[in-house]
Amino acid sequence: MSNHYDPTKDISPSAAYPEVSFHHHTDDAEFKRRVKKTTILLSVVTIVELAIGLLIYNLHKGEVNRDFLILLFKGVVCILTLLKAYWIVSIFMHLGDEIKNMIMTIIVPLLLFVWFIFAFIYEGNSYKNLRNTYDLHFKETTTPVKYHKADKAEEKPAEKSGKE
């Protein structure tokens, strides 16, 4: 039995929670610096997101079709949001300070979201395409006017050539 592993010998468990092997000791100055830095980062990124939101609003108003640019900015906002989520979980919730075993039991199941998001959005898009193909009433009543205009511009010359 002398070889039996005794956790109390190489680590000092806390009196309240003997199952916890070590506690994180961050000094006050370091703690304040981290919280201040994270707060500023979260605020700055939120302000940047709002600025991009307003930019998207103004891109929508224009006559020119800027769908690609809008999509690009929306992608940027998504990435910024993931960054904010990382800071909240890692710093505010202290997940970054836990041991690797613990972090993995939380992060690995959440990776299912990667498949989840792509699969369901692809599904939604496919449903739209099918309806636009087979349900013309749906297509005509829901497609925005600016796209109607483009269709009409194509149709008109055809009409004229018919009369001539």
Partner 1 sequence: MGVNFINMATTGTVHQTKWWSGGKSPFNMEYGKLMMWYFLMSDAFTFGAFLISYGSIRFSQNFWPDPNVVFNAFPGAGHANLPLAFVSVMTFILIISSVTMVLAVHAGHKGDKQGVIKWMLWTIVGGLAFLGCQAWEWHHLITGEHAVLADGKLEMIGQTMTGNPWGNLVEDNAALTAALSNTSHETLVSLVQSHDHTHSAKELAAMSDAQLKGMVNLAEMHVREKGPVAFGGYFYGITGFHGFHVFSGVIINIIMLMMAQKDVFAKRGHYLMIEKAGLYWHFVDLVWVFVFLCFYLI
Which residues inside 74-133 make contact with partner 1, applying CB under 8 A?
Answer: 74, 77-78, 81, 84-85, 88-90, 92-93, 95-103, 105-107, 109-110, 113, 116-117, 120-121, 123-125, 127-128, 131-132
Contacts of 51 (CB under 8 A, 6+ apart): none
Instruction: Restricting to residues 27-66, name those near partner 1 by CB under 8 A.
Output: 31, 35, 39, 42-43, 46, 49-50, 52-54, 56-57, 60
**DSSP 3-state percent helix, strand, coil across the chain (nearest 5):** 75, 0, 25
Instruction: Restricting to residues 1-20, name those near partner 1 by CB under 8 A.
Output: 5-7, 10-11, 13, 15-20
Residue with tokens 């990776």: 111
Instruction: Restricting to residues 129-158, name those near partner 1 by CB under 8 A.
Output: 131-132, 138-139, 142-145
Q: Are 131 and 139 in contact (CB under 8 A)?
A: yes
Written as six digits, the tokens of 117 are: 């998001």
